[in-house]
Every structure is written in structure tokens, then in C-alpha cells.
Amino acid sequence: MLFKTSLITLLFTLLLLPEYILSCTTVSVQSDDGNTVIGRTMELGNLILLPKWYLVAHPRGTAKSGHGLNTIGYVSIDVLASNEPKFSLDTVSEGMNEFGLGVSCQTMRGARYQDERKEELGDLKKVRLEFIHLAAELLGHCETVEDAIDMLKNKLYIHGKRLPSGSRLHWSISDANSDMISVEYVEGELQIRDNKSVGVFTNDPTFDWHVTNLNNYVGVGAGWPEENEVVAVEVDVRVPGLPTTTVPTNVGHGHNLEGISGSMSPPSRFVMMFLLKQHAIAALGNPVDTTAAVSVVTGLLNKVYIVRGTVPSEPKKLKAVYENSLELTHWATIKIPKERGFMWRSYNNQRWRRIDLNDIDFGLEAGAFKPIQISVEGEDGIEEVAF
């Protein structure tokens, strides 16, 4: 049975995910009431997969992993063949456990795991785990980021070179103590970076590359741009509504953000999320409470929302595959680890839905909770009101 489940997972990953997983973005915001609010988007180009995402509750002792059955209960967004838990394909992509530990899986095509080093067998005392099962392993056995770091460094040997690069992952991990790290495997070596201060995570290249790239945007200002006297000249042109004939001058508003790319590439999304968040905090301070932080995170996620058809696929694909692979934002989540709040929305229903992990009895048996479909056909999130 275990072999069958593993085989199904492998086949699923090979046939669907490598071709279409392209973009993901994570961003975190601190509030003055002591909470961290973490938003995340999932971008894919696979319409077949859209109705197969489910929010699944995993009670203690019901989810297998490298260290046996999970000792900690958690909720996660998984791929299911139907709404019956027994049909789970064991593909956790996003989740949070009963202690507030959260894991976001994001694409990193350049990832090279520990089985790609010269010492092929690795440490035989460690549990050998394929990278696609790491999220479930951490959610099911770790209470904090510190626990996750210990497990990654001392208890796990992560492999996966037999799977295509398009399905490879790196991870953003957070907890109820407001700690946040990025986890990557680069040339077979584990790299763990503190991500509490930056609070942004996208896709390739590596996290340290993205952080260094922020230096290229040091000139993007937070204030109202003034006339540049060094280069300004008088011209025989008067634009209606402007009090001056000096150019260049400020026309309209929003010029302080010129220079930030609006593309959906990982580097652009990383820069956009960081600078918009930092400018908002510089102007107004941290959001006063969790509700305000959710509003800020929602606005940031809206900036990386991919409308289907705006990001092209590789033209070499057959037309039917090309049309199916056009990217869109399948879903987005917000985690509030300290409160154990988990929220989600879908491409066709942009209204947030929330579940409180404090209300879940993770001591129940397998199958006690019916999975919740993330994207329901026909939903639009519109509420009809009347005076």
C-alpha cells in the first residue's frame, strides 16, 4: 500500500506539476498587537488541477512521514482526486499546524538536493526523505522554526534528483514566535536564511540573490519627488494644469515608485513586495492590529495576482497544452500563526474564508473531517445586498 501511494505521488508529480508550477509569492507583515500575518499566492498553468485543491485537516497519527505518523495535527492545501481523504496524493503545498508552524512550498528549478553531492548515500543515521514530502514532515513533527532547523540539519537527508527540475522546491517556514526562515538546497548543500526582516519569498534564483538584488533599487524613494534642479530646464511648453514650464517636474502622482518592475518574474515580485511593504510601513508604521495587517497583506497579494493570459507559456508546446498551461493565480492564503488562523481564497472567489485551528479536535481519527474544496465551480464571491 505504501509503495502504491508513493508511486501515485511520483507519477502525479512527473505528469502534472513540473510542466505547470511556475510562480509563488510569500510576504509577511508585523502588526502592533504582536501578530505576524503571512500571505502567499499559488500560481499555476494547469486548469485540470484547479478543482483538485482541497483544504485538508490531518489529525494526529493519520499522516505518514519519514519519522512515522504525525504527532502534531495540521491543516494543509493538498491535491485530492476527490473530496475523500483516502484519495489524497500526499502533495502538501501549504499548511499550518496546531502550534502555529507554517510551511509554504515554492518552485525552485535550480534546487539540487543532498543526493546530488559526491557522497551519494549521505548520513545513514538520518531519515532519507524525498523533497516533495518535506512540508508534511515538518508540519507533522515540529512546533517551532527552531525545531524545523534542528530536523533539517540533524535528522533528515533530502533527496530528489530523479524528479524533473520543474517540480523542485524551496520552502518558507514560519511560527507563532514570528520567526521566519527560507530553506533551500543549493548544489546539494542545505542553506537556511533568516527571513524575518525581509519577509518576502518568491522563486529562482536563490534567496541570497534576491536580497542582494534589492541593492539595485536603492534609488527608489518613499517621498514626493521634487524638481531636479541639477538637470531642470525652462521650455516653451505649458501643460494645462501645471504651474511651471520647467522640466522635468512632477506630473500626477506615484512617480516615487518608478523603477520598480511590474512584471510577474520572481525578481520583480520579490522587489515589488519588499519595497511596497517597506514604504507602507515607513509612511504609517506597522498596522495597528491584525485586521489592519490582513488588509495590507491582501493589498500586497493583489499586486502579484496573475490574470490568466497575461503571462505566456513556452510556444514550443502544442496548442492544447499551451492553452492549458497559461498561468493564473489558483489560490492565495493568509496565515496568522499566533492566533492559529488560516484563510484562503481562489481565482474565481476573491473573498477570504477563514478557519480557526483552535476549533479543530486534532485528536480525532482519520477521515473525521471532510476536505474543503478551494475552488468551487460557479462561485464568484459576490454578495447581493439591498437597501
Q: What is the pLDDT of residues 43-93, one digit of tens each?
A: 987 788 888 899 999 999 998 888 899 999 999 999 887 655 554 555 799
Which pLDDT score is estimated for 15?
Answer: 44
Which pLDDT score is estimated for 243?
Answer: 66
What average pLDDT does this structure show over 282-287? 94
Contact assessment for residue 77 and residue 334, using Cβ atoms and an 8 Å cutoff: no
Say yes or no to pLDDT of 12 above 50. Answer: no
The Cα–Cα gap between 194 and 181 comes to 5
Bridge partner residues of 329 (DSSP) = 43
Number of H helices, E strands in the chain: 8, 18
The Cα–Cα gap between 137 and 52 comes to 22
Radius of gyration, alpha carbons of the chain = 23
The Cα–Cα gap between 84 and 370 comes to 7
Phi, psi values for residue 366, rounded to 5°:
-60, 140
Contact assessment for residue 106 and residue 24, using Cβ atoms and an 8 Å cutoff: yes
Which pLDDT score is estimated for 259?
Answer: 77
- CA–CA–CA angle 49, 40, 307 (5° rounding): 60
What average pLDDT does this structure show over 147-159? 96
pTM above 0.85, yes or no: yes
Q: Which three cell numbers stand for residue 100?
A: 502555529
Q: Which three cell numbers stand for residue 135?
A: 512540508
- CA–CA–CA angle 9, 12, 160 (5° rounding): 60
Sequence-distant (≥ 6) Cβ neighbours of residue 141 within 8 angstroms: 65, 67, 70, 71, 72, 147, 151
Sequence-distant (≥ 6) Cβ neighbours of residue 209 within 8 angstroms: none
Of 47, 109, 37, nearest to 334 (Cα)? 37
Say yes or no to pLDDT of 2 above 60. Answer: no
Of 303, 294, 293, 296, nearest to 269 (Cα)? 303
Contact assessment for residue 333 and residue 350, using Cβ atoms and an 8 Å cutoff: no
pLDDT tens, position by position, 115-137: 887 655 566 789 999 999 999 99
Residue predicted with more confidence, 326 or 27: 27
Sequence-distant (≥ 6) Cβ neighbours of residue 55 within 8 angstroms: 75, 76, 77, 342, 344, 355, 371, 372, 374
Instruction: Count other C-beta atoms under 10 Å from residue 191's C-beta.
Output: 14
Cell 533530502 -> residue:
158
Instruction: Fill in the DSSP letter of residue 88.
Output: B
Task: Report residue 21's pLDDT band, with 50, 70 and 90 as the boundaries.
Answer: low
Of 220, 252, 219, 251, nearest to 237 (Cα)? 251
Which pLDDT score is estimated for 22?
Answer: 61
**Terminal alpha carbon distance of the chain:** 58
Distance of CA 260 to the CA centre of its chain: 21
SS3 90: coil
Q: What is the mean pLDDT of the chain?
A: 86
Residue predicted with more confidence, 87 or 227: 227
The Cα–Cα gap between 356 and 342 comes to 6
